[in-house]
């Protein structure tokens, strides 16, 4: 935050704000590049324990300073770090259970929230409509945890509590961010932080595939399964879903500003993200990415959507041979020559049927959090697929936590759609409108990706989505206030116009 004193002139305030922006963006870029440098090497780097402890203490001190003096920058640093948490856990060799970088960030975010509340004498928590289904969803999750503990002797209570903490943490981060973002500058910086990390991770995917692994044919012959990349997720399907959530923010900025030459530079990171998504060879991600592109174009320009995008999609749907092989390789294998599905698709259909049977048998509370894998045999799957994932987030939530919990989650998504469309329709802020277009594209990608897999149970791809929900909630609040003021001005202008006509009308009659 810029300390603009009352006595400072307007020019001085502008200069202070500009310097603060430069320092903040420089911090974001340096921190992001530092994280990339840790991930990029060909082999893992093992540091001595003493050095790790020293770095841990320095990190704690930096977080403590930021939580008290520069809380906004602490949120920004966490936003940049979030996608790297799995590959850079920072567990410090397990000296203390739960002592890792993510938990340190979370601790100081909560401490800083309390400090900022006391310092500025404001409310600690401001309730919002979207919070109700979010909190109910969390409540069902906690109940399902204890239900799972009671009915599954294979699970350890302590491990399950840590697992639930990881699951709840994205929602907690949403509550923290939405209650602590107090100005437009922080909203802008958070969006930029997400774009920076998405772009760098896109390039990391290319580096992993072409430099580290030598590409499809150099390293693996022609095996798609062996060549798939995971990078930050260590799982290809989740890595592909990551790009379906966040790439469309950059795409929206390009579309809205395509007449400005400098925005054409965005095509480079967008292409890197799209290519990295394709290198996961995830069919669900390809469908979700296409859905995200379509929704982004729809809200940017409906004519382009109707007369360019849709005809292109229809043409290639009927003529897939014109597409490059790397784009349709696994997709073409979905349906075999005899009309049957391939093994992977058929297995997924069987798992969905199993999930439906599980939901019917336990509609209210489900079988317990993280218990789906233990009940698959009981509900019709053969023993050799024990431990399989539900391959659908909506089925998974309904099966493990009950239909009410899944309904709350869907309500949250619908509220997000409503907020995004409201901002798109009503805002006078060009930046807000652009972000709403990219967010809606990412939301479409997220909803599509989670039809084909459980892509919301990995915090490295989920944290920034909940931060985006907080950003959209704040933008909707600002837009609603501004729209209300504009409406009042318009009504007052209309009243004055009516008064002037009423006053003038007797004069005109007398003149006649």
124, 150, 165 — which closes off a domain? Answer: 124
Output phi, psi for 334, to 5 deg.
-60, -45
DSSP 308: I
Closest CA to 433 of 483, 488, 472, 477: 472
Per-residue confidence band for 85, with pLDDT thresholds at 50, 70 and 90: very high
* pLDDT tens digit sequence for 40-68: 875 555 667 777 778 778 889 999 999 99
C-alpha pair distances (Å), 112 with each of 19, 73, 395: 24, 11, 37
The answer as to whether 502 is a domain residue is no
The answer as to whether 188 is a domain residue is yes
At 385 the pLDDT is 60
* pLDDT tens digit sequence for 123-145: 888 889 899 999 999 998 888 87
User: Can you tell me the mean pLDDT for 359-384?
Assistant: 85
Q: Alpha helix locations (H) across 333-371?
A: 343-361
Same domain, 45 and 189: no
Same domain, 457 and 480: yes
501-510 CB burial, b ≥16 within 10 A, e <16: eeeeeeeeee
The answer as to whether 495 is a domain residue is no
Q: Is the pLDDT of residue 174 over 90?
A: yes
* Sequence-distant contacts of 14-23: CB under 8 A, at least 24 apart: 17/185, 20/185, 21/185, 21/189
User: Can you tell me the mean pLDDT for 327-342?
Assistant: 61
The answer as to whether 498 is a domain residue is no
* pLDDT tens digit sequence for 12-39: 777 888 888 889 999 999 999 999 998 8
**Cα–Cα distance for residue pair 420/435, rounded to 1 Å:** 9
Question: 156: burial class by Cβ within 10 Å (0-12, 13-18, 19+)?
Answer: exposed
Q: Alpha helix locations (H) across 183-320?
A: 184-206, 215-220, 224-227, 236-256, 267-278, 283-300, 302-304, 310-318
Name the residue with higher pLDDT: 152 or 52. 52
* pLDDT tens digit sequence for 498-508: 677 676 665 54
124, 143, 158 — which closes off a domain? Answer: 124
Count of domains for the chain: 2
Bridge partner residues of 335 (DSSP) = 341
At 162 the pLDDT is 73
Question: 196: burial class by Cβ within 10 Å (0-12, 13-18, 19+)?
Answer: buried
Q: Give me the domain span that covers residue 111.
A: 1-124
Place of tokens 């209650």: 179
At 2 the pLDDT is 47
The answer as to whether 511 is a domain residue is no
Same domain, 85 and 230: no
Same domain, 426 and 452: yes
91, 124, 157 — which closes off a domain? Answer: 124
Radius of gyration of the chain (CA): 26
The answer as to whether 330 is a domain residue is yes
The answer as to whether 402 is a domain residue is yes
At 206 the pLDDT is 93
Same domain, 295 and 336: yes
Per-residue confidence band for 6, with pLDDT thresholds at 50, 70 and 90: very low
Percent of the chain with pLDDT over 90: 52
At 429 the pLDDT is 93
Both structure tokens of 172: 């907690």
Per-residue confidence band for 196, with pLDDT thresholds at 50, 70 and 90: very high
C-alpha pair distances (Å), 187 with each of 41, 177, 193, 374, 479: 33, 10, 10, 42, 13
* Sequence-distant contacts of 26-33: CB under 8 A, at least 24 apart: 27/73, 27/76, 27/77, 28/76, 28/77, 28/80, 28/189, 28/192, 28/193, 28/196, 29/196, 31/77, 31/80, 31/81, 32/80, 32/193, 32/196, 32/197, 32/200, 33/200
Same domain, 187 and 315: yes
**Cα–Cα distance for residue pair 59/68, rounded to 1 Å:** 14
At 105 the pLDDT is 94
Same domain, 331 and 294: yes
Same domain, 138 and 111: no
Query: If you average pLDDT over every residue of the chain, what do you get?
Result: 85
Up-side HSE of residue 395: CA atoms within 13 Å toward CB?
23
Both structure tokens of 507: 């004069």
Place of tokens 């072409």: 210
Same domain, 106 and 139: no
Same domain, 187 and 214: yes
The answer as to whether 512 is a domain residue is no
* pLDDT tens digit sequence for 468-506: 999 999 999 999 988 767 665 666 665 666 677 676 665
Q: Is the pLDDT of residue 217 over 80?
A: no
Same domain, 394 and 412: yes
Same domain, 140 and 110: no
Per-residue confidence band for 308, with pLDDT thresholds at 50, 70 and 90: very high
Closest CA to 446 of 287, 210, 275, 253: 287
Closest CA to 202 of 76, 289, 260: 289
**Cα–Cα distance for residue pair 236/230, rounded to 1 Å:** 4
Q: Is the pLDDT of residue 5 over 60?
A: no
């Amino acid at each position: 935050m810029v300390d603009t004193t009352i006595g400072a002139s307007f020019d001085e305030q502008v200069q202070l704000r500009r310097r603060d922006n430069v320092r903040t963006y420089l911090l974001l870029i340096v921190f992001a590049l530092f994280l990339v440098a840790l991930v990029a090497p060909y082999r893992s780097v093992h540091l001595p324990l003493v050095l790790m402890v020293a770095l841990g203490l320095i990190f704690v001190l930096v977080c403590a300073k930021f939580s008290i003096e520069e809380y906004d920058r602490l949120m920004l640093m966490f936003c940049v770090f979030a996608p790297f948490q799995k590959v850079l856990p920072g567990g410090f060799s397990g000296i203390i259970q739960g002592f890792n970088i993510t938990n340190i960030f979370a601790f100081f975010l909560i401490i800083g929230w309390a400090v900022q509340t006391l310092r500025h004498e404001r409310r600690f928590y401001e309730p919002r409509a979207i919070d109700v289904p979010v909190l109910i969803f969390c409540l069902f999750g906690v109940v399902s945890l204890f239900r799972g503990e009671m009915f599954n002797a294979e699970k350890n209570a302590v491990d399950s509590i840590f697992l639930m903490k990881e699951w709840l943490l994205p929602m907690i981060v949403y509550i923290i961010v939405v209650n602590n973002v107090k100005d437009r500058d922080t909203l802008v910086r958070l969006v930029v932080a997400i774009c920076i990390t998405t772009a760098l991770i896109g390039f990391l995917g290319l580096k992993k595939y072409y430099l580290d692994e030598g590409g499809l044919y150099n390293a693996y012959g022609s095996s798609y399964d062996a060549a798939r990349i995971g990078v930050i997720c260590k799982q290809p399907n989740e890595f592909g879903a990551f790009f379906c959530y966040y790439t469309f923010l950059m795409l929206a900025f390009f579309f809205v500003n395509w007449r400005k030459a400098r925005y054409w530079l965005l095509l480079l990171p967008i292409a890197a993200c799209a290519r990295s998504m394709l290198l996961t060879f995830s069919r669900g991600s390809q469908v979700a990415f296409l859905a995200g592109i379509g929704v982004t174009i729809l809200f940017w320009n409906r004519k382009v959507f109707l007369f360019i995008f849709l005809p292109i999609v229809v043409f290639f749907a009927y003529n897939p041979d014109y597409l490059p092989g790397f784009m349709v390789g696994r997709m073409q294998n979905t349906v075999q020559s005899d009309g049957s599905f391939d093994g992977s698709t058929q297995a997924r259909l069987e798992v969905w049927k199993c999930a439906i049977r599980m939901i019917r048998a336990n509609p209210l509370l489900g079988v317990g959090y993280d218990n789906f894998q233990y009940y698959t045999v009981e509900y019709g799957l053969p023993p050799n697929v024990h431990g399989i994932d539900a391959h659908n987030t909506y089925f998974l939530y309904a099966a493990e936590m009950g239909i009410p919990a899944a309904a709350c989650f869907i309500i949250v998504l619908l509220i997000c759609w409503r907020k995004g469309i409201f901002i798109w329709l009503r805002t006078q802020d060009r930046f807000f409108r652009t972000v709403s277009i990219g967010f809606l594209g990412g939301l479409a990608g997220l909803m599509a990706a989670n039809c084909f897999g459980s892509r919301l149970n990995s915090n490295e791809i989920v944290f920034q989505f909940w931060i985006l929900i907080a950003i959209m909630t704040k933008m909707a609040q600002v837009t609603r206030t501004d729209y209300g003021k504009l409406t009042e001005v318009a009504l007052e202008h209309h009243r004055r116009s009516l008064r002037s006509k009423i006053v003038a009308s007797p004069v005109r009659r007398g003149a006649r």
